[in-house]
Chain A
Amino acid sequence: MPEGKPEEEKALIVFDYIYHALRGKHVLEQAGLKIKEVAPPPEYRTGCDLALELSATEVDAAERILDEKNVLILDILFMPKDTKLVPVYLTKLIKTTDFPDYTMVRCGNMKITYQKGTGIIVNISGGG
């Protein structure tokens, strides 16, 4: 952010299940909203979860879109201006390993192996 520009107020949408978080990210991005995946604040964490950070001015629009798309949210938090949440890097750091007839896709501690051609998942691993 350029020096001198006031930091925008942020809001955080937290979810019960990561499934809803991932779907929420998809539908909000489709709607053109600028969002960022972050780790929820510790008091909201239950494990393998994810929260979406967005501009506080876009909360009403986001809530409406999520409601229309049946994405269940746990809560919406308005964050103090200086709050720095940990970005989640999972989606940025996908690595693939090539086997003769299979491909393994690794993302953090999670792995999926599928058969080339059919796309059939033959093994999953990790996640804790």
Chain B
Amino acid sequence: MMLIAGTIPNKDIPLTLGQVKLEEGFLVADGQCFSRIQGTGAMINAALATINHLKLEPPQVLVVGDIGDGKGSRELYSYLIDNIDELSPDVFVMHYCLPIMALMKQLCKAIENSKKRPFMIADAGAMYAAKGAGLASEFDIMTPDPSEIAFLADPKATHPAYIAEHLFKCDSSKIPEQIAAAFENGSAAKLLLVKGKTDYIASDGSILKTVKEPDVSTLEAIGGTGDTITGLVSAFVYAGLKPQEAAIVAAKTNRMAGKFAQPTPATKVGQIIDQFPAVFEKYLCEWSEVCYK
């Protein structure tokens, strides 16, 4: 089973656990309806679209509303700490939440004590919490953007807003150095997929692969196009691809879906995700070992 956990920027969503589906343009789990184009929702939507194409069991999602006061995030961490052993996911993805380092430590401890260790993926607030708590290497994949890799490269930073000035001012040409520094500091997951103008896939301090094409510059302006990569890589890992291959196919899919969508800066990420089936149909057999026609 794949479990995706994260907060939703809607204070009316209670802590909800259930198998997710798409209904009339919204995600639905255990009767709760939430947006598919923001943060955790965009990531879930991307994972679901991929998993549906691959005809796998749809993900279980654990979501809760949090508009920044941290109440929902605390509920989310607490539920996971108490129940991760019983939930026993094969792939566990943690996404937007307040980066509460003490609770992330407890969660990693609970996972360590579980009967089964899941494949662990973190992005957004969960990635910040893991890095800030010194637990990044507990995770198998992290998917930082260029500002977030600078954060991972800064041994003292506990949040991307607080990174050292020289890193804050860096341009994208420094990303390879920052990747190396993140691994050296122990602030990286086992594999990093750095999302940006060039996508970098790196492990053990070395860049294994870069993906640059197609280059759709408009995607940078569209909120959620980084979240979709996290959803894609999670789904491909769940489908059985090796992490490195999952990351490469995820990066290629996101870019090609962007090209297919012919976006403007006002395009919503849902329109990009809607192109995934066409991309899979045309390229997935060529790009990967998972091939469903």
Distance in angstroms between the alpha carbons of A39 and B157 in the assembled complex: 10
Which interface class (under 10, 10 to 19, 20 to 34, 35 or more) fits B? Answer: 35 or more
How far does the Cβ of A19 sit from chain B's closest Cβ, in whole Å? Answer: 8
**Given A17-B68, A128-B148, A93–B169 Cβ distance below 8 Å?**
yes
Which of A17, A97, A113 interacts with B266 by CB under 8 Å? A113
Among B99, B158, B221, B266, the one with the most A-chain Cβ atoms within 10 Å of its Cβ is B221
- Comparing B160-168, B239-247, B280-288, the segment that makes contact with chain A is B160-168
B226: Cβ under 8 A from any A Cβ: yes
Which of A42, A50, A87 interacts with B165 by CB under 8 Å? A87
**Given A89-B168, A104-B221, A108-B168, A122–B159 Cβ distance below 8 Å?**
no
B125 touches A125 (CB 8 A): no
B125 touches A47 (CB 8 A): yes
B159 touches A47 (CB 8 A): yes
How far does the Cβ of A103 sit from chain B's closest Cβ, in whole Å? Answer: 9
Secondary structure type dominating chain B contacts: loop
Which interface class (under 10, 10 to 19, 20 to 34, 35 or more) fits A? Answer: 20 to 34
Contacts of B68 in A (CB 8 A): 17-18, 48
Distance in angstroms between the alpha carbons of A128 and B70 in the assembled complex: 13
21 pairs from A and B in contact (CB 8 Å cutoff): A17-B69, A18-B68, A39-B161, A45-B159, A46-B100, A86-B156, A86-B164, A88-B161, A89-B169, A93-B169, A102-B264, A104-B220, A104-B221, A109-B148, A113-B266, A122-B266, A123-B222, A123-B223, A123-B266, A125-B223, A125-B224
Where the two chains meet, the residues of A that have a C-beta atom closer than 8 Å to any C-beta of B are: 16-18, 39, 42, 45-48, 50, 86-90, 93, 97, 99, 101-102, 104, 108-109, 111, 113, 115, 122-126, 128
Q: Apart from A123-B222, A123-B266, A128-B96, list 8 A-B contacts with CB within 8 A.
A: A47-B100, A89-B165, A99-B221, A104-B220, A109-B160, A123-B223, A125-B220, A126-B147
Where the two chains meet, the residues of B that have a C-beta atom closer than 8 Å to any C-beta of A are: 68-70, 96, 98-100, 124-125, 127-128, 145, 147-148, 156, 158-162, 164-165, 168-169, 218, 220-226, 264-268
